[in-house]
Amino acid sequence: MSEGYLDERLIGQQFTITLADLLDGVSFYGIYYNLRATTSLHVGDLVEVVATTPHGLTVKIVVSHQQGD
């Protein structure tokens, strides 16, 4: 198994942002990742992992928590 394989498997993974995700990072398979995005993330946003780097996961918002307001 090549280095980075686990991280690359996360591409396409969707999850809803929690306060803990914003403060501490998100955990998959017991590994914590920092989150990066081109726009501000908010609790309740549904996001999708679009890239991985040694520094964390890059996500994009699929559904903003504000769309439901």
Instruction: Enumerate the domain spans of the chain.
Output: 3-63
Query: What distance in Å separates the CA atoms of residue 30 and residue 19, rounded to the nearest whole number?
Result: 18
Residue pLDDT tens, the chain, 69 long? 445 666 889 999 999 999 999 999 999 988 899 999 999 999 999 999 999 988 899 999 999 987 654
Q: According to the model, what pLDDT value does residue 16 have?
A: 97
The CATH number corresponding to 3-63 among 3.40.390, 2.40.50, 3.40.50, 1.10.3470 equals: 2.40.50
Q: According to the model, what pLDDT value does residue 23 have?
A: 94
Query: What distance in Å separates the CA atoms of residue 17 and residue 25, rounded to the nearest whole number?
Result: 10
What is the model's pTM?
0.85
Per-residue pLDDT reduced to its tens digit, 24-37: 999 998 889 999 99
* Structure token pair of residue 15: 């999850």
Q: According to the model, what pLDDT value does residue 66 have?
A: 78
